[in-house]
Structure 1
Amino acid sequence: MTVGAGRPDVGAERSRVRLVVVQALVFSLFATLLARLWFLQVLDGEEYRAQAASQSVREVVVQPQRGLIVDAQGRPLVANRPSWVVSVDRTLLGRMGEDEQAVVLRRVAAEVDLRPARLRRALLDCGVAGSIAGECWNGSPYQPVPVATDVPEQTALRILEQPEDFPAVLVEQQTVRAYPEPFGVNAAHLLGYLSPITEDELDAAEAADDRSVNGASSVGRAGVEKQYDAWLRGMPGYRRVAVDSMGRTLDDAEEVEGVPGSTLVTSIDAKVQSVVEQQLAQTIATARATLDTVTGRRYVADSGAAVVLEADTGRVVAMASQPTYDPGVWVGGISSRQLARLYSEAAGTPLLSRATQGQFAPGSTWKPFMTAGAMQHGYDEDTRLACSSGFQVGNRVFKNYESGAYGSISFAKALEVSCNTFFYRIGYDYWQRLGSDVDDVAARDPLVREAQEWGFGAETGIDVPGEAAGRIADRQWKRDYYESQKDYYCAIAAKPRSHPDNKGVSDFVHRFAEEFCVEGYAYRAGDAVNFAIGQGDTIVTPLQLARAYGAIANGGTLYEPRVGKAVVGPDGSVVQRIPPVVQGRVDAPRDVLRYLDAALTGVAANPQGTMNWRLGGFPLDQVRIRAKTGSAEVYGKQSTSWVASYTDDYVVVMMVSQGGTGSGTSGPAIRAIYEALYGVQGEQVRPAAAAIPGTVPPRRLPRFELDGSILPPVVRRAAGARS
């Protein structure tokens, strides 16, 4: 009995031990849980709250409103308009299954009138497998991809009202470029266009810590849109918005406002630009309906350009090029078909600005500069040379084109009647005395040096990117050209015309190849006489020619032409003025410049002057026009029509490729432009009717009011025509 009496006590003890162990275990678990909760909520609470917020808050880039481009009177040439844009967030789209993605993309494609395959290509990063240039996304991989611009408002609202059917799809209003076209102006080559930023450009901006662009930015690609892009683009803003698991916006969390772009005030006058564009288009249309008596067919008139500069500053008042294009085709993305047309030769390469990039033989408009060179190197005002019907060089007779035979005449008369043979004699004289050794590349040539002096063969420095430099076809150029082409032409010349390798080579090309292979490097007398009248291989741009005539008008200063006049901030304050820039000065005596001025006055005013017949009844006593006409011959093509002219205030130049004679084709348009500039009505000058208030371009800027309106500059006087 005594032995069994202690057993219940032992069992109870064991039960208590087990209970204590369980209690300790439970306590330790609670302690661990509490410690973990304290760690998560207190010690690392901020970090986890930030991570949680990052999953529910998206940062949306708010594109700034791009700055306006206005003319000298404050009229908008480029503005902005609202546009509904549909974008797809690829991050949210990637969280869906493939079937759900396909459904969403089909819905979006149907709403924005795109094929699903095209929509998928738009979502691909450029450079990855399957991407197509012009259709892929070249912006940031983290930015929602715009897939449709200018979506109808009904479509935009329908997508916004049905977010459950369009997860990962964003719809917002953005601003895109608009072209008000005051007085119907086009000015596409001057204004330029925008296109999406490339990945390389974005990487470069990020490396430079440039925050003014992002993956969805559009940047300037041509014209003043490109030149002044940094001013026009502004600074983007950022909006942080709360979203649900499907990417639908719940609420705005935070916003950093962007800064609108600045306004570019240009020296362009919309009224004058309109007149110049209309006159150029009409001149080309008239030429195409006119019979060319030389070829027996109508003029092709495939392209043309016109330039109006302010003589004293080099500022561009108007500039037109044909063929042209609608700058609006770039808004919202250009199609492959539209882009191909802009580069198409069959369409006339509309993207090419003939005013700054077109290069043409100047013909007789070259002669004033040759006169200046000759009068500083052995000739003078008393010089008399024969203006015969032809001038023989070797076995070839070089003939007059526009002029007849006038006997022994002066430089002034030679310019007035545009006598070729007069200038042939000068070119031949210099060649014979200074450079008859064809191997002497460094032979002195006063006429070549004079052409360089007037800025030919080099860019003018205009603030429109992509201008051509033209070409002075001197001895060095001819030697360089020979070295670059001799292998090609010698290969043709080495085989008979009938050889299979020469299939498609004409008899003329084969003969040319034979001559070129043997002596293509030689600068002969024929090259020299052609150079003296602006023929041969020398080419200029219409802008170069206008700038040089401006130097005659202003006493010898070569300006870098300027389109931009000032940059004005969003608050209306002037951020930066863009003054005229002097590139150089012509080293010609004042008496030579005065002589040229008087001679070119005779071209317009004297009965035998080649421009006079187009100015009958024009009040030349009040508006003194100086002019030079030109008809440049081009092998295999019809002649190029030129008129270069100026007054005390303006320089006006027009060119029509394959358009006929100078005054015959371009003369009426030149007259019409001057009539608009000075308010000429009949034989009277009425300054109140001038295209520009006060007759001359305003020195002051437009007035930017507090309510956002832009008013014309104050005009203090009606200048009228200066004599």
Structure 2
Amino acid sequence: MDASLRTTPHRPAARAAERSRLRLVVIQTLALTLFVTLLARLWFLQVAEGEDYAAMAADQSVRDIVVQPQRGLVVDAQGRPLVANRLSWVVSVDRSVLAKLAADERGKLVARVADAVEMKASEVEAKLVDCGKENAEVGTCWNGTAFQPVPVATDVDQAVALRVLEQPEDYPGVVAEQQNVRSYPSPFGVNAAHVLGYLSPITADEFAQAKAKDDRSVNGASVVGRAGVEKQYDAWLRGMPGYKRVSVDHMGRVKGDDSQVEATPGDTLVTTVDAKVQAVVEKELARSIAKQRTIVDSVTGRKFVADSGAAVVMEAKTGRIVAMASAPTYDPEVWVDGISSKELARLYSEEAGTPLLSRATQGQFAPGSTWKPFMSAAALGNGYSTDTRLPCASSYRVGNRDFKNHESGAYGVIGFAKALEVSCNTFFYRIGHDYWKKYGSDVSDVDAKDPLVEGAKDFGFGATTGVDLPGEASGRIADRTWKRSYYESQKDYYCGISNKPRDSETSDFLYRFSREFCIEGFAYRAGDAVNFAIGQGDTLVTPLQLARGYAAIANGGTLYEPRVAKAVVSPEGEVLQEIAPKVQGTVSTSKKALTFLDNALKGVSTAGTMAWKLGGFPTDEIPIRSKTGTAEVYGKQSTGWVASYSEDYVVVMMISQAGTGSGATGDSIAKIYETLYGVVDGEAKGAKAAVPGTTPNANLPRFSADGTILPPLVEKGKSR
């Protein structure tokens, strides 16, 4: 056989082997390429970007915890602490640890914590819920960061806190530490709750607004001022939070501190309040209320209800508040550990007397005869003179109605001074009626001139005083404009009643009133004008407004914005800002008329309606000007007022449903003046005065390097 024919069958096998070798080379090349790529990637991760990834890994093992600052002090004018801070054991729960536990273990831990701090497990659970979630309880839920341990109990016994610390295996993720909380030293037993205010946790909306403004002084776990100076001066008092970075393990448990930025304490607020005077004012207001509740009202035949009251002591020449009290009041301590819904409901309850309402700045009451000096000032600038004489009869007829004297009898023909001294209503009825006949007999003319209304507004009534406390009420001037506005807002309601047949649920009085109101409720009649002239009807004032008005008479016509704060001082004792008295305006009443009124009001104290309460006070040495007032309130007993002033101070006190002004508050007014001037057995002794030097000191307390606060130096030549 030919040789070429014998080799032909082996050629296909060779080609197959060659293809196999080619595939192997390709696979080896791919494998080598992948290996090189992997090595390159490992080099890139471990060498080129190794430091960045190491930092990210380290960052995952630390947590930022906010360190809340110590809130600033609030002190009185002598440097006595009114609001301070104290250390409190606080038990908190780390929710990141809690989340890694099995459901049954989580429940057992919460129950164990609740039992230790003497709470219900449901109460602890409520505190662990983030605010904004569907089941969150407002005021209870947690508004802080996710990594911050959530405080569930404050003011825990030290023994409980130590047990938590010493038994970490029983309390995983539970922290016990001492934190600063608000305290109230109460020098001389003062309360001053409505002046000082209170704190509560920041809301989600407030925190969001702060973040939008890049305000780093608050965080999700902050507490902020809600009333009083705590709210008004919150930005100064709150300080600046610090931050602590802590290392955690894979379970989120804290292993130790990594770094810390110290918190900056808040600044100290120096107030114009004198704690010794404040204590006396509070005690006297409470005493007068308690006394009136034992007395039978001759008008109603029932004991006086005396449901609320207020008192203000103000510097006559600056508008600074020396003392301010409101009743009923509340204990500011109730907010420290988180207020319960039951306690909060009581503070807002009308049945409890709405203790949160500051009667001095937010309470609005008919002024009664304390209104008459301002009506006198208006009349003396609009056609009447100090020589004017008018009849003081027992009653004055307007249309078919007799308006009577309630605090005085008939005194014949008298002038302004005597009318103020004996508080003659009919004297002022005539003036109010005279202006109404002269300028405003068109009952629908909203723009009619009214000198008495203009005079009241000139003394700042019907508008806020500008006091540095939040939530001040404006009072109300019940003039033609107000009456028209009130009619427009209420006519649909009353016309709806009158346009239907009277049913059994509608009283005859309400039905008749509704018909009259629907037809002519807008009309400003002569009766409205004469009531306005004696502080009756729908006109309302706050005790602070009245005090400011009397201060303007005392100081020659200047209307100050009342001030509670005097200065802001840093934690190191540096005066950051002095808060000087601020003039809001001046009255148009002439100096001659103001001097006349000043002398007339002295007569009220020495021979008029307040004389029987100041018999033991040295009014020759320290003249007191005063005006009593008894305001009738429909469906209630009368509101009693005394508004008064000396050369240095204005003192105003009122009690709702307590009878006549001097009868309800006169003794307390006398006691307050005795305290201010150190009167003992009818003699003024400057050394006994509550305020060192007798009159308020312009100097500030002295702040020592060790944190001690000393009284201000007494100015020479001040004491009487």
TM-score in same-fold range (> 0.5): yes
> Aligned ranges for residues 233-632 of structure 1 at < 5 Å?
233-497=238-502, 499-500=503-504, 503=505, 505-606=506-607, 609-632=608-631
Q: Do structure 1's residue 678 and structure 2's residue 683 form an aligned pair?
A: no
Distance 1:37 1:155 in 2: 53
Distance change in 2, residues 1:167/1:247 (3 Å): farther
Answer yes or no: is the 8 Å Cα contact 1:687–1:718 preserved in 2.
no
The amino acid that maps onto 1:672 is K
What is the CA deviation profile of residues 183-203 of structure 1, one whole-angstrom value per residue up to 9, with x for unaligned ones? 000000000000000001111
Distance 2:590 2:554 in 1: 14
CA offset at residue 30 of structure 1? 7.8
CA offset at residue 487 of structure 1? 1.1
- The 3-state SS of whatever aligns with 1:372 is helix
Distance change in 2, residues 1:511/1:19 (3 Å): closer
Aligned to 2:696: 697
What is the CA deviation profile of residues 552-601 of structure 1, one whole-angstrom value per residue up to 9, with x for unaligned ones? 01000000100010000011000111111111100111000000000001
Distance 1:22 1:390 in 2: 122
CA offset at residue 35 of structure 1? 4.4
Aligned to 2:162: 157
Distance 1:270 1:626 in 2: 25
Distance 2:438 2:416 in 1: 21
Distance 2:591 2:379 in 1: 15
CA offset at residue 243 of structure 1? 2.1
Distance 1:26 1:373 in 2: 106
CA offset at residue 34 of structure 1? 5.5
- The 3-state SS of whatever aligns with 1:292 is coil
Query: Higher mean Cα deviation, 692-701 or 88-97?
Result: 88-97
What is the CA deviation profile of residues 597-626 of structure 1, one whole-angstrom value per residue up to 9, with x for unaligned ones? 0000110012xx000011112101111100
Distance 1:357 1:702 in 2: 30
Query: Higher mean Cα deviation, 32-41 or 592-601?
Result: 32-41
What is the CA deviation profile of residues 259-297 of structure 1, one whole-angstrom value per residue up to 9, with x for unaligned ones? 100000000000000000000000000000011111111
Aligned to 2:718: 719
The amino acid that maps onto 2:655 is V
Distance change in 2, residues 1:31/1:160 (3 Å): farther
Q: Which runs of 4+ in 1 moved over 4 A?
A: 17-37
Answer yes or no: is the 8 Å Cα contact 1:693–1:718 preserved in 2.
no
Distance 1:620 1:230 in 2: 45
Answer yes or no: is the 8 Å Cα contact 1:314–1:580 preserved in 2.
yes
Answer yes or no: is the 8 Å Cα contact 1:546–1:644 preserved in 2.
yes
The amino acid that maps onto 2:562 is P
CA offset at residue 155 of structure 1? 1.5
Q: Do structure 1's residue 84 and structure 2's residue 85 form an aligned pair?
A: no
Distance 1:567 1:601 in 2: 38
Answer yes or no: is the 8 Å Cα contact 1:139–1:202 preserved in 2.
no
Answer yes or no: is the 8 Å Cα contact 1:182–1:270 preserved in 2.
yes
- The 3-state SS of whatever aligns with 2:600 is helix
Answer yes or no: is the 8 Å Cα contact 1:139–1:197 preserved in 2.
no
- The 3-state SS of whatever aligns with 2:60 is helix
Query: Higher mean Cα deviation, 252-261 or 124-133?
Result: 124-133
Answer yes or no: is the 8 Å Cα contact 1:139–1:198 preserved in 2.
no
The amino acid that maps onto 1:635 is Y
What is the CA deviation profile of residues 406-465 of structure 1, one whole-angstrom value per residue up to 9, with x for unaligned ones? 000000000000000000000000001110010111000000000000000000010110
% identical aligned pairs: 68
Unaligned runs of 5+ in 1: 1-16
CA offset at residue 92 of structure 1? 3.2
TM-score scaled to structure 2, two decimals? 0.94
What is the CA deviation profile of residues 498-540 of structure 1, one whole-angstrom value per residue up to 9, with x for unaligned ones? x15xx1x333222211211111111000000000000000000
- The 3-state SS of whatever aligns with 1:291 is coil
Distance 2:26 2:495 in 1: 106
Q: Do structure 1's residue 184 and structure 2's residue 189 form an aligned pair?
A: yes
> Aligned ranges for residues 7-156 of structure 1 at < 5 Å?
35-156=40-161
TM-score scaled to structure 1, two decimals? 0.94
- The 3-state SS of whatever aligns with 2:66 is strand
CA offset at residue 490 of structure 1? 1.4
Distance 2:719 2:403 in 1: 45
Distance 1:509 1:416 in 2: 39
RMSD: 2.0
CA offset at residue 143 of structure 1? 3.3
Aligned to 1:638: 637
- The 3-state SS of whatever aligns with 1:688 is helix
What is the CA deviation profile of residues 384-416 of structure 1, one whole-angstrom value per residue up to 9, with x for unaligned ones? 000000000111100001011000000000000
Distance 1:646 1:322 in 2: 22
Answer yes or no: is the 8 Å Cα contact 2:560–2:584 preserved in 1.
yes
Aligned to 2:646: 647
CA offset at residue 57 of structure 1? 1.3
- The 3-state SS of whatever aligns with 1:656 is strand
Distance 1:104 1:49 in 2: 35
The amino acid that maps onto 1:93 is L
Answer yes or no: is the 8 Å Cα contact 1:472–1:539 preserved in 2.
yes
Distance 2:481 2:147 in 1: 54
Unaligned runs of 5+ in 2: 1-21
Distance 1:192 1:83 in 2: 20
Distance 2:515 2:290 in 1: 41
Distance 1:341 1:90 in 2: 33
